[in-house]
Amino acid sequence: MTKEALLEIGSEELPASFITLGLRQLKTQAEESLKASGLAFTSIDVFGTPRRLAVLVQGLPERSPDQKKVITGPPMAVAKDVQGQWTPAAMGFARKQGLKPSDLTIENDRLSATLHIKGVATRNLLADLFPQWISKLEFPKSMIWEPTHFRYPRPIRWIAALFGSDLVSFSLAGVRSARWTLGIGPWAPKKIALTHAGKYLILLKNQCVLVEPGARQEAIRRSAEQTVKRVHGKVIMSSALLDQVGNLVEHPVAILGNFDPAYLDLPKEVLITCLEHHQKYFPVEQASGGKLLPHFVGIRNGMSVHQDLVREGYERVLSARLADARFFFNQDRKTPLAAKVDALRGVMFQQKLGNLFEKKERIKRILGAIAPAVDETEILQKAMHVTDLSKADLVTDMVREFPELQGIMARIYAQADGEDSVSAQALEEHYWPITLRGTLPTSDVAALVALADKLDTLAGDFCVGLIPTGSADPYGLRRAAVGTIRILESKPGWKLNLEWLVEISLESQPDNVKEGCQQTRIKLNQFMQQRFAAMLAERGYKADEIEAVSGSSIGTVPVALAKLEALHHFRKQPDFEMLANSFKRAANIVRQAHEKGIGLDGTDSPQADLLKESCERELWDSVSLAQSRLNGISSFEEILRTMVPLREPLARFFDGVMVMADDQSVRLNRLKLLNQVTKLFQNVADFSKLQNG
């Protein structure tokens, strides 16, 4: 017979972002600890609201199974002395396991203790596990509020813990576990009895608490859509805002609010930012046409009472926010965007790297270095102009008040100043991609400025030691690196070598931070390779394939990707494994020759008169034929197909001759032949990095 187990952590209201984080950890903790304890289960579900995090485990047995555990002890060399007597080390190990030395066994020349652990009642086991799950939860911020100094984002007010209908008893943070929960804040102050763990969801639903985040989001969506029907509108519902609002309420109720239609003359982006980012309201637009309506949907928490008062409060707060936005917009429009550029001298980018004016000048230097490789004069001139204006909106009143609008306001103000559409759009898009998988810049002008901007940020931060460590990346350098690579991937015609771009970006940095530039160059190139490998691993490429193509240098990103794609597909061919193994053997011999100081020039061909054996001549003929066929081939997969005929001549060569022959001239000639073979393969990848299978 199996039962359900429930743990609910009740607290004062948690920040919305902490709920998803806490539930993810809670599920992981439950899964790992139950498996480690030998407890089988059928499913684990987690639930969360601002006032509670909960986990429900289905299908738990009444007892944990008996377990056999083998513990390794000291090596036999120190377990007995020269007289064959047990040493203190051996006796101490046995005593620690509750055994006699004679009960120990020997495994792989070490003492081992085999322990037979009897199962325990699941309810008792959960009394140990539940507080561990809570204690191991980690959040960006936590607080201490009681004598035991337990840390949690908000004070814990109750803990519900059941196994079936039985209480799981324990204490944590000064709170004793119980068999009751609470409903919605002030509307339900009385304790709600929990009779059985399996009835948790339905019981709270009957008390108007939706503990499933997905159910709350669906309720918000349905009620919001129903509410706007009276104004013939459509709700603009971003997934990010829906996630956030869903974690702000336990029982969502949609309220339709209004604002002065006169504010509709503000840019749409400004209105949406005021509604979404600052008030957590959902904007409303026309059912067709996309024009904003002077309405919004606010989501309240709790019973649907006193709606008029709530609506008035929502509208009053929004009106003040919109009035501020209009004032800032009108103030900014008194001078053109170009007139604000000089004010960037007063805005610090980074203490050692200078101000934003100096940053945009560095971006222009990088663009100037890129110019000969891109060779598109008109586009580069426009990119220089966009760079001059690119940071100007950061000193506007609007962006100071609404940082989310950086770039967007630059585009809006540039359009109002009469800038052409490509330049205006590039002012917004030079920040793109904003996320790891975000949209790329749509024009060459925007892509060039975005590329140079990201390279400058990467080079500057690495020069001053602001390098990501572990999971910490406060300056978004991983995002900047992936954005750089993705932009280069999208522009194969530019033929820009990534290592060269890193070099010119480092050279553009202020003289006072360029000390130790060689070490910085190495670290930044390694960082770019790591981000490149991580990005490609997510796309399904194997680690050894990525290493084979870009292990020492990425080079030109589109070319590296084309090589990788060719290798990935060609690897599935039946002849591939044997061909790769033959190359590895050739590459190993050549490498060992280099290590012994035997110089091999890649352009130095073997002498025909020294190819004495038929297998040598056959291999050289096959190599020469492959070299001639490679001329004019642009497809890397076709290049690999050209290598296939080398498989059998290589095998016969290794079977027929001793490469390291006694005759020095013959030995060097054979090494030159194998060196030519390795050079052919390295047109695509370093096959020695590939793993078998």
Written as one string, the DSSP assignment of 398-442 is HHHH-GGGTTHHHHHHHHHTT--HHHHHHHHHTT---STTPPPPS
On the question of pLDDT at 129 being above 80, the answer is yes
In degrees rounded to 5, what are phi and psi of residue 137? -70, 135
CA angle 267, 268, 274 (to 5 degrees): 95
Give dist(CA 398, CA 409) in Å, integer. Answer: 8
Both tokens assigned to 547: 């290493």
Which residues does 691 contact at the CB level (< 8 Å), separation at least 6?
Answer: 544
Which residues does 451 contact at the CB level (< 8 Å), separation at least 6?
Answer: 370, 484, 487, 488, 501
On the question of pLDDT at 624 being above 80, the answer is yes
pLDDT at residue 519, as a whole number: 86
Range scoring the smallest mean pLDDT among 119-123, 185-189, 526-530, 665-669: 185-189
Give dist(CA 455, CA 453) in Å, integer. Answer: 5
On the question of pLDDT at 653 being above 80, the answer is yes
Q: What is the DSSP letter of 599?
A: -
| Matching CATH number, 568-689, of 3.40.720.10, 1.10.730.10, 3.40.50.620, 3.30.420.40 | 1.10.730.10
List pLDDT tens digits, range 479-514: 999 999 999 999 998 989 999 999 999 999 998 888
Give dist(CA 643, CA 584) in Å, integer. Answer: 14
pLDDT at residue 602, as a whole number: 54
Give dist(CA 476, CA 331) in Å, integer. Answer: 32
On the question of pLDDT at 136 being above 60, the answer is yes
Q: Average per-residue pLDDT in the chain?
A: 91
pLDDT at residue 599, as a whole number: 64
State the pTM of this model: 0.81
Bridge partners of residue 69, in order along the sequence: 115
List pLDDT tens digits, range 209-241: 999 999 999 999 999 999 999 999 999 999 999
- Rounded to a whole number of angstroms, the distance between the first and last alpha carbons of the chain is 45
Q: For tokens 């607290």, name the residue.
A: 11
pLDDT at residue 504, as a whole number: 95
On the question of pLDDT at 693 being above 60, the answer is no
Both tokens assigned to 655: 């079977």
Look at phi and psi of residue 149 and say left if phi exceeds 0, alpha if psi is from -120 to 50, else beta. Answer: left
List pLDDT tens digits, range 268-302: 999 999 999 989 999 999 988 789 999 999 999 98
List pLDDT tens digits, range 362-416: 999 999 999 888 877 889 999 999 999 999 999 999 999 999 999 999 999 999 9
Domain 2-64+121-206: CATH class, spelled out: alpha beta
Residue type at 558 in one-letter notation: P
Radius of gyration (C-alpha) of the chain in whole angstroms: 34
Give dist(CA 554, CA 534) in Å, integer. Answer: 13
CB 281 within 8 A of CB 296: yes
Range scoring the smallest mean pLDDT among 160-174, 318-332, 482-496, 643-657: 643-657
Which residues does 603 contact at the CB level (< 8 Å), separation at least 6?
Answer: none
Which residues does 281 contact at the CB level (< 8 Å), separation at least 6?
Answer: 257, 275, 296, 297, 298, 314, 318
Give dist(CA 29, CA 32) in Å, integer. Answer: 5
Give dist(CA 671, CA 665) in Å, integer. Answer: 10
CA angle 12, 18, 20 (to 5 degrees): 120
CB 50 within 8 A of CB 154: no
Mark out the alpha helices in 247-351 (DSSP H runs): 268-273, 307-332
- By DSSP bridging, strand 151-152 and strand 143-144 are antiparallel
List pLDDT tens digits, range 80-95: 887 778 888 888 888 8
List pLDDT tens digits, range 333-374: 999 999 999 999 999 999 999 999 999 999 999 999 998 888
Report CA 24 to chain centroid distance, whole Å. 16
Q: Domain limits of the chain?
A: 2-64+121-206, 68-115, 213-332, 340-538, 568-689
Both tokens assigned to 78: 């120190």
pLDDT at residue 287, as a whole number: 87
**Three-class DSSP category at 296:** strand
